[in-house]
Amino acid sequence: MGIGGDGSLPVPDQMKLPRSVTIAGVPIGILQEDLSDEDNLPKGYYGYYSDERRVIVIEKTLSPKAAKATVRHEMLHAALALSGLDHLERFEEEAIVKCMDSIFFPAWDRFLRSLNKK
């Protein structure tokens, strides 16, 4: 455990993440920041993607497993934005991203594991 920014609160050690990722040929920055509100309470999300800034920001206190899952989730948001799909008149982006997170990627991971067994 590391020490919080004020020197008193223990926080999990940050996972070392790449500074950026390239999606559809576009470099997207990756930042780890404190996403709590002014009362030091969680805002209710682990990260976000800013298309305007071309950056993924994730909560700096996430465990390595949660940090990887959050970056993957936000990369999906970035891919949808960069493809233009997020500009459709009727588009439930979060539903699509959650589907990919909870249905597609677990199936893909099982498929890869089955390939490794052969």
Would residue 24 be called left, alpha or beta, if left means φ above 0 and alpha means ψ between -120 and 50 degrees? Answer: left
The parent domain of residue 11 ranges over 2-117
The total of structural domains in the chain comes to 1
pLDDT at position 9: 41
> What pTM does this model have?
0.73
- CB hemisphere CA count around 23 (13 angstroms): 22
Identify which has the larger pLDDT, 7 or 58: 58
pLDDT at position 86: 74
Question: Is the pLDDT at 12 greater than 80, yes or no?
Answer: no
pLDDT digits (tens, 9 = 90+) for 45-75: 899 999 999 999 999 999 988 998 899 999 9
